[in-house]
Amino acid sequence: MMTARFILFFSTLSILCLSSGSVLGAPPVIIIDPGHGGRSIAGSLAERSNSSPNNATSPGGLREKDLTLEFSRILHDEILKEAGRAGINVGVLMTRNDDRNLNFVERAAIANRPDTACVVSIHFNAGGGGKALGSLALISSQQRNTNYAVDEAFGRAIAEACNAGVRKYIPSSKSRGIMTDGHLHGGLGSNFFFQMARHRNLRTVPKCFLEVEFIDNPAVEKALLRDGRAEKFQTIARSVAIFLVEWAEPKAKQR
Ligand SMILES: [Zn+2]
C-alpha cells in the first residue's frame, strides 16, 4: 500500500521547471483533489475521515466520481499549459489519478506540503430536486477557520472563473459564489476541512470544494456532460486554470 501510494504521489506530481525560477527554490504547488472514487467508503465517521465513493449521479447514469477525475485530469493539464504560456513556475499535484477512494486523512496528507499554494477539491453537486443550476465553492465556516477571509475571496473567484466557462454552454447558469460547511455533519463541518486544519502548513492555505455544476439537472447533463464533454471540460478548466495560475504567481515570484 505504501509503495502504491508512493508511486501515485510521484506519478501525479508535475512540476513545470523554468530555469529562471528553479534556482530560487521549489515552485508553489496547486493541489487538485478529484472528489470520491472507488467502490466503498474510505475512512470512518468516528475518525472524521470518511469519503464516500460516489455522491451524485446524473439522470442518465453518469457518476460524480468519474466526472471529478475526468475534469481534474483536464484541469491539471490546463494549469501546466497556462503556467507555460504565462512563464510562471507552478506545480500541480493530484490526490488520485485512478478510480480509487482515499480517506480524508490520506487526502490531507498529500496536500500537506510546505510549497502548497492552494487546495481545490473537484465535485459535481446534486440538489434542488434536479432543477438547481450554477457553480459554487464550499469553504470552511468562519467559526472554525482562521483563514476565512482568504478562503472567501478565493472561493468566490474560483466559482466565478468556473461558471464563466460553464456559461459558454449553459448561458442561464450563474455563479452561486461561496457556501460554508456549517450545515454538514450536524454542524461540525466538512471532514476534509477538519483533517486539513490538523496540519499547520495548511491552515493558511486557501482551500475549497469547487462544485462545477449540478449533475442531477437534466439540462446540465444534456448541455455539458454528453456530446463533446472533453472539449467542454477543457474550456471550463482553462478558465479555472487562468485564475489559479494568477493566484499562484506572487508565490512563484517569492521563491
Ligand atoms: Zn461530491
Residue 19 belongs to a domain: no
Residue 25 is predicted with a pLDDT of 65
| Distance from Cα 16 to the centre of ligand 1, integer Å | 29
Residue 33 belongs to a domain: yes
| Distance from Cα 139 to the centre of ligand 1, integer Å | 14
Report the number of distinct structural domains present in the chain.
1
Q: pTM of the entire structure?
A: 0.91
| Distance from Cα 209 to the centre of ligand 1, integer Å | 8
**In which domain, by residue range, is 46 found?**
25-254
| Distance from Cα 159 to the centre of ligand 1, integer Å | 15
| Distance from Cα 120 to the centre of ligand 1, integer Å | 12
Residue 58 belongs to a domain: yes
Residue 178 belongs to a domain: yes
Averages of pLDDT over each 10 residues, the chain, 255 residues: 41 42 68 98 96 98 98 98 96 98 98 97 95 98 95 98 98 98 88 96 96 98 98 98 94 73
Give the tens place of pLDDT for each residue, 95-147: 999 999 999 999 999 999 999 999 999 999 999 999 999 999 999 999 999 99
Residue 15 belongs to a domain: no
| Distance from Cα 86 to the centre of ligand 1, integer Å | 31
Which CATH number fits the domain that encloses residue 240? 3.40.630.40
Range 80-85 contact pairs with CB under 8 angstroms and sequence separation of 24 or more: 80/14, 80/16, 81/238, 81/241, 82/238, 82/241, 82/242, 82/244, 82/245, 83/16, 83/245, 83/248, 84/16
82 contacts 238 by C-beta, under 8 angstroms: yes
| Distance from Cα 35 to the centre of ligand 1, integer Å | 6
Residue 235 belongs to a domain: yes
Residue 64 belongs to a domain: yes
| Distance from Cα 211 to the centre of ligand 1, integer Å | 8
Residue 107 belongs to a domain: yes
| Distance from Cα 62 to the centre of ligand 1, integer Å | 13
Residue 43 is predicted with a pLDDT of 98
